[in-house]
Amino acid sequence: MRRKRNNTREAYFIRTLLKNIGDQKYKIAAKSVDILISISRDFIIRVVEEAFNILNVNKKKTLTPREIQTSIRLNLKGDLAKIAITQGLKAVTKFNDDKKNTGLTINPNFIKRKVKQMNYSCRITMKSMVYLTASLEFFLSEIIELSINNAQQAKRVLVSPREILLSVKNDLELYSFFGDKSIFPGGGVVPLIN
């Protein structure tokens, strides 16, 4: 039986990222979209929870880009963290110049609504959400790009959960974010050849 396509806004953002990154010939499986949605939600939860912990330690009431930046530094490692921070700073600078056009595929207002649903009693600046959105977009783009490379090596045009699993497990920085207890439904196992 054919699986019904996920038509949420998150799925739309992921498909748009795929079109922006890869060739037009690459498609993404419905299960892969679900996995990437789960990854994006996990990324947001981890970063925002850490940022709110930083707020509590500093006894502040407003979430700013500085807390998001520190949280990203704590959650991501190596070049992945550096580039995510750079992307966030670029997006905030562009947001300061033009409030309407941030140059992001994912809508920062959508992310802000998701963060507000987490029920933290703090004020949230729009700049912090632009920063978080840019970092999330970079993080997802990195996973999608590595997945497309794995699909190319396997001579496939469909990005399946298997390619996402291999892209995460074979990249040390992504692997450090997810840890060894991460499960990707339909991904199988990493091949171990001696």
- At residue 64 the predicted structure's pLDDT band, cuts being 50, 70 and 90, is very high
Residue identified by tokens 């996402």 is 164
189 in a domain, yes or no? no
> Which residue would you say has higher pLDDT here, 180 or 159?
159
67 in a domain, yes or no? yes
pLDDT at 9: 87
Domains contained in the chain, number = 1
27 in a domain, yes or no? yes
pLDDT at 4: 61
State how far the Cα of 137 lies from the Cα of 101, in Å rounded to an integer.
15
191 in a domain, yes or no? no
What's the sign of the alpha-carbon dihedral 69, 48, 142, 104?
Answer: negative
187 in a domain, yes or no? no
Q: Which two tokens stand for residue 183?
A: 């499960």
What's the sign of the alpha-carbon dihedral 148, 153, 157, 159?
Answer: negative
pLDDT at 154: 86
pLDDT at 187: 64
State how far the Cα of 24 lies from the Cα of 155, in Å rounded to an integer.
15
188 in a domain, yes or no? no
**How many other CB atoms are there within 10 angstroms of residue 69's CB atom?**
23
pLDDT at 193: 57
96 has a pLDDT exceeding 90: no
What tens digit of pLDDT does each residue of 118-171 get?
A: 877 788 999 999 999 999 999 999 999 999 998 998 899 888 898 988 888 888
pLDDT at 118: 84
Range of the domain at 54: 9-176
pLDDT at 178: 84
pLDDT at 6: 66
DSSP 99: S
4 in a domain, yes or no? no
> Any idea what the CATH number is for the domain that residue 138 is in?
1.10.20.10
5 has a pLDDT exceeding 70: no
194 in a domain, yes or no? no
